[in-house]
Chains A and B, each alone.
Chain A
């Protein structure tokens, strides 16, 4: 199967590739994730119980409390951060969170990544050039 290439804007530079974990929903940081385990703990979330550690997290955006960046910052220190972030909506929470998680991050893509990418797809995130390359599973 061919590759799908999405073009967007750099949030944080760097280039990595890995397996995608996708949700069309927004994610809460504080109260929504467990920064020790690298999992989603929001009981009302479609990814409740899923592990994002080491995956390319593809999601709508950030929501909830201002503890967002602090939680993902802790996840990085605990080596359970996502491998990269690809999202639709830029907010202060998500921009600060991506910066302190220090993983490649891209937004403002020419197609909705939460529709194009499915959980389990192989995704290369080139933060420096704002490019996301998707290989369907």
Chain B
């Protein structure tokens, strides 16, 4: 891999041991990819939380992060980050840690993590959706982000450039301001590869989730171009679409002609590429996808309703409030809604949190059940409006899952029964 002078200087240790170890990591990684060079980035989104087991194993934050965040056998002292950096979501809500089966000890360690990261200069956004709370990359901007649902959003909807990075590559990028120039940093790799002709109406968030899940399953990690969308999606629908597509396959980039950043037309979307495959999404495919997503659900008695994956926007919280105002969650059902802290602050200010609390639910921040590997104690059947959470949580906690619309989830919370259908 070709290295520029400033990169060689970092590798030679001219900027200290931490930057040197981070650069060594990026060089090993770039060579494994077959990348020709590195590229500058000033926008890094990563994950650096040490859990109890890791702390017990390594003894200090510097040692944990040396091993797990830059894959260095030598323990280094972490300096302040070199470029703009934020923390994605975390394993717990510090306000409700006890409900997620975490201990006071876990809570104390969480707060120490936050303090350590803040001292490094990492912004504690603690959300899977930094683009909802102020980090909105510009078209063409080279980023180094983790979190598959955020990666697919900023690449496709905004036209920023990032691959789906990992813990070790993002922390190394925070310290060096570099990331391998590979994959979606290179313009021609961003062009469409598969044409998806949509033959049914895609109107609701539930429809967008099904379309995303289907397209992800079929094209895996290629670049689908979604054609024949007749109704412009709201931001939350397209957010949900990408999250579903990224969990079912590995989609990091897609185009919707006339809607997403780099495709004013079908021709723009494909550029010099010819579609490798034509995929149709009609009534039959929609039904099949619905069956797959609901194949883990058996019992119709629901005891957990999970909303907010990816983290809810303030609009989604308000829409939810309109559905639940004056109603009550059935006894024995946990109703949990997840958002970024700054969105929650706004919801508190607007009185939306009170509406959720009066309904019998909770508005949580910083985390989600899948990332924190938790569920309400004793719960066995979940209803969710998130294709992504429905995909992951059964694997991680053994819970059964039903996927449907937000309204169907609210109905399940009120009646304690899943009555969703396509």
Q: List chain A positions with a Cβ less than 8 A from chain B.
A: 9, 11-12, 26, 31-32, 41-44, 61-70, 73-74, 77, 89-93, 95-100, 105
The reply to whether B166 and A26 contact each other, CB–CB distance below 8 Å, is no
The reply to whether A63 and B34 contact each other, CB–CB distance below 8 Å, is no
The reply to whether A92 and B182 contact each other, CB–CB distance below 8 Å, is yes
- Tell me, rounded to whole Å, the shortest Cβ–Cβ distance linking A57 to chain B: 16
Interface centre among A66, A77, A93, A97 (most CB of B within 10 A): A66
Residues from chain B with Cβ under 8 Å of A73 in the complex? 68, 71, 167-168
Interface centre among B32, B67, B151 (most CB of A within 10 A): B32
* B146 CB contact (under 8 Å) in A11, A31, A62, A66: A66
The reply to whether A68 and B34 contact each other, CB–CB distance below 8 Å, is no
26 CB < 8 A contacts A-B: A9-B34, A11-B32, A26-B220, A31-B370, A41-B396, A44-B295, A61-B250, A65-B148, A66-B147, A66-B166, A67-B47, A69-B167, A74-B68, A77-B57, A89-B221, A90-B33, A91-B164, A92-B169, A93-B250, A95-B33, A96-B29, A96-B32, A96-B165, A97-B166, A99-B32, A100-B168
* A93 CB contact (under 8 Å) in B34, B164, B295, B394: B164
The reply to whether B395 and A93 contact each other, CB–CB distance below 8 Å, is no
The reply to whether A64 and B250 contact each other, CB–CB distance below 8 Å, is yes
The reply to whether B221 and A69 contact each other, CB–CB distance below 8 Å, is no
Residues from chain B with Cβ under 8 Å of A69 in the complex? 166-169
B28 on the interface (CB 8 Å rule)?
yes
The reply to whether B151 and A66 contact each other, CB–CB distance below 8 Å, is yes
Known: A41-B395, A64-B148, A70-B68. A96 touches B34 (CB 8 A): no
Residues from chain A with Cβ under 8 Å of B292 in the complex? 44
B281 on the interface (CB 8 Å rule)?
no
Sorting the interface of chain B by its residue count into under 10, 10 to 19, 20 to 34 or 35 or more gives 35 or more
The reply to whether B166 and A67 contact each other, CB–CB distance below 8 Å, is yes
Q: Is the interface of A mostly helix, strand, loop or mixed?
A: mixed
CA distance A73 to B395 in the complex (A): 20
The residue of chain A having its C-beta at the shortest distance from the C-beta of B33 within the complex is A95
The reply to whether A96 and B57 contact each other, CB–CB distance below 8 Å, is no
Residues from chain B with Cβ under 8 Å of A42 in the complex? 395
- Tell me, rounded to whole Å, the shortest Cβ–Cβ distance linking B254 to chain A: 15
Q: List chain B positions with a Cβ less than 8 A from chain A.
A: 25, 28-29, 32-34, 47, 57, 67-68, 71, 145-148, 151, 163-169, 180, 182-183, 220-221, 246-247, 249-250, 292, 295-296, 370, 391-392, 394-396
Q: Is the interface of B mostly helix, strand, loop or mixed?
A: helix
The residue of chain B having its C-beta at the shortest distance from the C-beta of A101 within the complex is B71
Interface centre among A9, A32, A62, A65 (most CB of B within 10 A): A65
The reply to whether A67 and B183 contact each other, CB–CB distance below 8 Å, is no
The reply to whether B220 and A63 contact each other, CB–CB distance below 8 Å, is yes
CA distance A43 to B88 in the complex (A): 26
CA distance A93 to B145 in the complex (A): 12
Residues from chain B with Cβ under 8 Å of A41 in the complex? 395-396
Residues from chain B with Cβ under 8 Å of A32 in the complex? 395
Q: List 7 other contacts, CB 8 Å, given A66-B164, A69-B169.
A: A31-B395, A41-B395, A66-B165, A96-B29, A99-B25, A99-B71, A99-B168
The residue of chain A having its C-beta at the shortest distance from the C-beta of B167 within the complex is A70
The residue of chain A having its C-beta at the shortest distance from the C-beta of B25 within the complex is A99
The reply to whether A92 and B167 contact each other, CB–CB distance below 8 Å, is no
Residues from chain B with Cβ under 8 Å of A90 in the complex? 33-34
Which 8 pairs of residues, A with B, have the shortest CB-CB distance? A69-B166, A66-B146, A63-B250, A95-B32, A92-B163, A31-B392, A70-B167, A96-B166
- Tell me, rounded to whole Å, the shortest Cβ–Cβ distance linking A10 to chain B: 8
The reply to whether B32 and A91 contact each other, CB–CB distance below 8 Å, is no
The reply to whether B250 and A67 contact each other, CB–CB distance below 8 Å, is no
CA distance A42 to B248 in the complex (A): 12
Residues from chain A with Cβ under 8 Å of B71 in the complex? 73, 99-100
